[in-house]
Amino acid sequence: MPKISIKGASMPQSPVRKLVPFAEEAKKRGTKVLHLNIGQPDIKTPEVAVNAVKNFDIKVLEYTHSAGFESYREGLCGYYKEFDIDISKDDIIVTTGGSEAITFALGSIMDETDEVIIPEPFYANYNGFATANGVNIVPIESSIDTGFALPPIAEFEKKISEKTKAIMICNPGNPTGYLYSEEELNQLKEMVIKHDLFLIADEVYREFTYDGEEPISILNIKDLEEHAIVIDSVSKRYSMCGARIGAIVSKNKEVMSTAMKFAQARLSPPTYAQIASEAALKTPKSYFDEVKVEYVQRRNTLVNKLNSIDGVKVPMPKGAFYCVAELPIDDSDIFAQWILEEFEFNGTTVMVSPATGFYSTPGLGKNQVRIAYVLKEEDLIEAAVVIEAALKVYPGRV
């Protein structure tokens, strides 16, 4: 029988989606499942984006420019200007989601067996993108005790080798919700300049920062122009996950000309989704103000409820809409499946993501889960009650 590739066999399963069959079975049994596992906001997509697609008169659904609509890229320049980021349309390539932007970035700057250093826990699909590109993630552990702050630079220095090509961060972070400070970003700047590395920043949660904190892009950091590569996306910003529109942004001309070859190879990003994304740039500021108020309320409710449970520890996120919860359990993969298969409380259970999938180091995250607070406040309160009840009877409680 023909065999699949080593690369295919090595591709990791999504910790967010691998438990879907167990959730489906629970629903078939009549159990209500509260989905805390996936960052799919329940916030309405801006009407201006939806209406743009509804009202667009098109006779032929043609290819677009491989870099995306010129008008959209020019619009994005105006969007970034609001964050004091000065770029041109030639510094932007529109991609099919932020996922493709990451793939383009890794493919443009790294060869097989090259290494990228990433603080863990990190967005689980980075593991998959690295495997698909034949490159290696070198993890550096951040601690729940510091709220997942940037590990000491000395620890990064220990990991740098002749194979190291880049440092990658997510800011604000998925799955931790941590927001890197200007001081931390400047520490990274000094290191990547010293070792002549790239700094890739996944900034797709830029709009979601709390408690008076403001996001700082690596494109705001002086002297990083040739080193900085930003990954962006409309998915969470406008609650348009299904649009699959992202962008790779860099002032490094060689990086962008190389990424353009990857863009040409996949022909073009989707037309209707670009129409919606360009229209979404007209979303009023009041939309984001309301969304932030909603997420702060959800965050405070969930994190405070969880921290009131015996044996549970959850740092307060400063951005995005995720938190990592440390639970008194033996194995988060077993717990996440058990709570779907064998537990319900008043006819309800929860679906969480085992944190093991957000680490690259084997064995880490065994007592942690990632929770997305994208549900209404009353659902989050109910979810916390279910988790508390589950922990009282879970066979693997420690």
Same domain assignment for residues 197 and 323: no
Rounded Cα distance between 326 and 368, Å, is: 4
Specify the CATH number for the domain of residue 214.
Answer: 3.40.640.10
Q: What is the pLDDT of residue 125?
A: 94
H or E element at residue 200: strand 198-202
What pLDDT is recorded for position 4?
Answer: 93
Q: Which of 170, 229, 222, 174 is nearest to 197 (CA)?
A: 229
User: What pLDDT shows up at residue 375?
Assistant: 94
Residues 275 and 337 in one domain: no
Whole-angstrom CA distances from 56 to 44, 73, 239, 273 are 20, 19, 20, 12
Same domain, 341 and 245: no
**Last residue of one domain, picked from the residues 280, 306, 330:** 280
**What local confidence, expressed as pLDDT, does residue 146 receive?**
97
- Look up residue 319 and give its amino acid: G
Task: Say how many domains are in the chain.
Answer: 2
For residue 386, the domain's CATH number is 3.90.1150.10
Q: What is the pLDDT of residue 40?
A: 87
Residue the block writes with tokens 């590395």: 197
Nearest alpha-carbon partner for 335 in 375, 258, 387, 275: 387
Please indicate, yes or no, if residue 1 is contained in any of the structural domains. Answer: no
Give the model's pLDDT for residue 128: 94
Q: Which of 280, 302, 332 is the last residue of a domain?
A: 280
CB atoms < 10 A from the CB of 215, how many? 18
**Residue 157 sits in the same domain as residue 216:** yes
User: pTM for the complete prediction?
Assistant: 0.96
- What residue numbers bound the domain in which 133 lies? 48-280
Looking at the structure, do residues 23 and 89 belong to the same domain, yes or no?
no
Q: pLDDT of 79-105, one tens digit each?
A: 999 999 999 999 999 999 999 999 999
Residues 6+ apart with CB under 8 A from 30: 347
For residues 219 and 339, state if they share a domain: no
Residues 99 and 142 in one domain: yes
Answer whether residue 398 is part of any domain: no
Provide the pLDDT for residue 251. 98
Q: How far apart are CA 317 and CA 299, in angstroms?
A: 8
SS3 215: coil
pLDDT digits (tens, 9 = 90+) for 188-237: 999 999 999 999 999 999 999 999 999 999 999 999 999 999 999 999 99
Q: In this structure, are 276 and 299 located in the same domain? A: no
Contact 165, 114 (CB under 8 A): yes
One domain for residues 273 and 290 = no
Same domain flag for 129 and 256: yes
- In which residue ranges of the chain is pLDDT below 70? none
The pLDDT, as a whole number, for residue 16 is 72
